[in-house]
Amino acid sequence: MRQAVGDTCTNAEYHFNGLQIATGYYGYVANLSRMPNGDADRQEVTKGHHTWNYTWSRCGFPDVTNIVADYLGTTSATPHSYADGNNVVDFGSIANLPCGVFVAGVVACTYPQTSDGVYFSDIDQRYSTDYPWSDSGGWDGYDVSNVASHESGHAVGLDHANSSGLLTMYYQTTLGETIRRTLALGDAVGLRCRYGVTEGAC
């Protein structure tokens, strides 16, 4: 576990994005041919998903939320602006996705679909090839698992939290940053509240 710093374990800010996983489970596939480092990048993306699966926290919180995101294998598909039944992760241009159209400088995007306004029906992720990436926390790139932890927070139903750069759901990241590979207080509380867990939270 990384050493807690600043307000990591005292800042309880979180926000919902309006949707949640219907059963607490979703599987995703990865387009390895579009990833700069192939399966090495995919493994770091999976670590980001697992941050929420296991409530990996800098503050020692036990895992009491039954969220599971499973890697199901490779695909040739890419993210779409409509639900296609595949939760796809890839690298590519962000410009043609809504987050790239409306917000400048986006390094990654989680693009959800819903048929009822309550539950996700499709959750795609794209990491921008306009920026350098690292699988080891190198200062010359954006750390894949660090960004994947943030993006996967969107995939479980959390929105940006803007009060502290130590929160995993903080809206910005920097080259070489790795602090968001694990959850801060607000991230863990938000996860629990989203899925009705009252122990140590709501």
pLDDT in tens, 14-69: 999 999 999 999 999 999 999 999 999 999 999 999 999 999 998 888 899 989 99
Question: Quick check: 4 pLDDT over 70?
Answer: no
**pLDDT digit string, tens, across residues 69-98:** 999 999 999 998 788 889 999 999 998 777
- The candidate with the shortest Cα–Cα distance to 15, out of 190, 197, 196, is 190
* Alpha-carbon distances, residue 9 vs 2, 26, 83, 166 (angstroms): 12, 28, 37, 9
Q: How far apart are CA 109 and CA 89, in angstroms?
A: 10
Per-residue pLDDT at 5: 72
Question: Quick check: 1 pLDDT over 70?
Answer: no
Q: How far apart are CA 185 and CA 12, in angstroms?
A: 5
Question: Quick check: 3 pLDDT over 60?
Answer: no
CA angle 188-190-195, nearest 5°? 100
Tokens of 76: 């040739």
Average pLDDT rounded to a whole number, residues 89-108: 81
Tokens of 104: 């400048």
SS3 138: coil
Its CATH class, for the domain covering 25-194, is: alpha beta
Between residues 103 and 168, the one the model is more confident about: 168
Instruction: State the amino acid at position 50 in one-letter form.
Output: H
Every domain of the chain and the residues it spans: 25-194
Average pLDDT rounded to a whole number, residues 190-195: 94
- The candidate with the shortest Cα–Cα distance to 105, out of 154, 11, 172, is 172
Q: How far apart are CA 163 and CA 13, in angstroms?
A: 7
Tell me the average pLDDT of the chain.
92
pLDDT band at 2 (very low <50, low <70, confident <90, very high): very low
Per-residue pLDDT at 60: 87
How many other β-carbons are positioned within 10 Å of the β-carbon of residue 133? 23
Per-residue pLDDT at 75: 97
Residues written for the chain: 202
Per-residue pLDDT at 188: 95
User: At 6, phi and psi to the nearest 5?
Assistant: 50, -135
Question: Quick check: 198 pLDDT over 90?
Answer: no
3-class SS shares of the chain: helix, strand, coil, % to 5: 25, 20, 55
Torsion of the alpha carbons at 91, 96, 97 and 102, rounded to the nearest 10: 130
Between residues 163 and 3, the one the model is more confident about: 163
Per-residue pLDDT at 197: 84
Helix locations, the chain, DSSP H = 39-53, 98-102, 144-155, 185-194
CB 47 within 8 A of CB 174: no
